[in-house]
Amino acid sequence: MTNSTTPHTVPRASLKRLPLYLHLLENLMADGVEYVSCTQLAKEFDFDAILVRKDIELTGEVGTARIGFKVATLIGSIKSFLGWDKEQDAFLVGVGNLGKAILGYKDFKKYGLNIVAAFDNDSRKVGTKVFGYEIFSTSKFGDLAKRMHIYVGIITVPPEHAQEAVDLMVDAGIKAIWNFSPAPLRIPEGVILENVRLTQSLAVLTNKLKRVFKS
Amino acid sequence: MTNSTTPHTVPRASLKRLPLYLHLLENLMADGVEYVSCTQLAKEFDFDAILVRKDIELTGEVGTARIGFKVATLIGSIKSFLGWDKEQDAFLVGVGNLGKAILGYKDFKKYGLNIVAAFDNDSRKVGTKVFGYEIFSTSKFGDLAKRMHIYVGIITVPPEHAQEAVDLMVDAGIKAIWNFSPAPLRIPEGVILENVRLTQSLAVLTNKLKRVFKS
DNA sequence: AATTTATCGATATATAATTATCGATTATAC
DNA sequence: GTATAATCGATAATTATATATCGATAAATT
């Protein structure tokens, strides 16, 4: 279950495929399926079976020939490997359209992320509630983060305020930042920054589309 | 400006870096900067300068030694390479929290994506307006898409309805699908599918965080 | 019980992506 | 004017990632 031979560098690509497997495995589990092979998993995603096996290998899980992996324990291994087995509390800054959408998405809890409060600069928003979350003034961020031992911050502010939000979070002892703003951000050594950039994904789409129309 | 030596396979990673450069270049342009070198660009993102040069090479743009690239023409080359120089009309299906957030994000137009209408199954939503977009019944999708020559579809429905949305779009002649649902989707040959999976990004974040807390 | 088949883990190969090297070029400093 | 330094494009080397091969193993088939 635990992995004693974890390599120093986990391929980012593998890390991104594991949630896909997990999602499918949970469906299989719900359907009462007990065992699954890499071949089966691979078929679902049009991946190479060996690729899936190597990804699973990262989690430390071992399978049995001709049978595959036990669905229930594999789910546990992947969750544990991703850090989704124990809940991480998080604060969100920026209650605009995107911030609201994230607050409204209840499933993050299944992925170990528990948003506990939201913050905004706009005094008209402060004090209101969004999907059950009270909106606090950003001036309260540091105090509350320290008091509640929050280490994860989510940034959904407009790009021109994104660096401010980062600084606020860093000062408050935030260790990992999930950033949805398109601005390039500066963070000190030791703080983790993970960006969600919609325009990057759009770029891949439109570039491919361009070539479709060309041919 | 145009690129006669485009390789068959554009590295996806390059495609995702180009919008980063573009964003920065537009800021430089606004500041009146005329020329920029790969070294400068690389410094902004903590990339290797050679990596940036190779990415730019893909767009077909050529620079001059000791000077670099002309900001204005480089912006044009990147936009053209990404297919962002001419507008693509798009339909969005699924006006929930995320769908609304995307409808409210006006900047996509800058990236060549022009959302023209939104669709939802929920009869209570049909006929209402969200950020100026009228919400249509999904039953109207095919007709309107064909009539308006729409080739791009955006999926922001709950995962259990995502495949339906894909089928609807494919039947309507949609060529490229930008999918925000976490469900694994089946598409026919020739249709482009680009997924935005928030849980993948979250996986990278939490896995890194886990290792921070371990050490 | 022997044979076949699917799948495993381990190791090796191939492909893709990134980084390094090098000669050429052009502004800046002397 | 000549030397110096920065940066280019092109090519080579390195590293990372994905795929292929192979013996071992365990169920299914005969």
Tokens in use for B168?
């609807």
Q: Which residues of B touch A7 (CB under 8 A)?
A: none
pLDDT tens digit string along A162-183? Answer: 999 999 999 999 999 999 999 8
pLDDT at residue A19 in the model: 97
DSSP output for B158-192: -GGGHHHHHHHHHHTT--EEEE-SSS-----TT-E
One CATH from 3.40.190.10, 3.40.50.720, 3.40.50.300, 3.40.630.30 for B88-199: 3.40.50.720
Closest approach of B51 to chain A, Cα-based (Å): 17
Type and span of the H or E element at B135: strand B133-137
- What is A88-200's CATH number? 3.40.50.720
Q: Does B195 reach chain A within 8 Å, measured CB to CB?
A: yes
Q: How far apart are CA A128 and CA A113, in angstroms?
A: 23
Which ranges in chain A are annotated with CATH 3.40.50.720?
88-200
pLDDT tens digit string along B86-101? Answer: 999 999 999 999 999 9
Which ranges in chain A are annotated with CATH 1.10.10.10?
12-82
* B20:A184 CB<8 A: yes
How confident is residue B211, by pLDDT bands cut at 50, 70 and 90? confident
Which ranges in chain B are annotated with CATH 3.40.50.720?
88-199
Taking all residues of chain A, what is their mean pLDDT, rounded to a whole number? Answer: 94
Residue B105: closest CA among chain A residues belongs to which residue?
A97
pLDDT tens digit string along A20-56? Answer: 999 999 999 999 999 999 999 999 999 999 999 999 9
Distances (CA, A) of A161 to A93, A125, B136: 10, 17, 35
Q: Which of residues 174-203 of A touch strand C (CB under 7 A)?
A: none
Q: Which of residues 122-141 of A touch B (CB under 8 A)?
A: none
C-beta separation of B38 from B56 below 8 A: yes
Q: Which residues of B touch A197 (CB under 8 A)?
A: 16, 19-20
Which nucleotide is closest to the Cα of B9 by its C1'?
A: C16
Our measurement of CA B11 to C1' D16, in angstroms, reads: 14
pLDDT tens digit string along B130-187? Answer: 999 999 999 999 999 999 999 999 999 999 999 999 999 999 999 999 999 998 899 9
Q: Does B205 reach chain A within 8 Å, measured CB to CB?
A: yes
Pairing label, strands A152-155, A88-93? parallel
Structural fold of domain B12-82: Arc Repressor Mutant, subunit A (1.10.10)
Burial classification of residue A170, based on how many CB atoms lie within 10 Å of its CB (0-12 exposed, 13-18 middle, 19 or more buried): middle
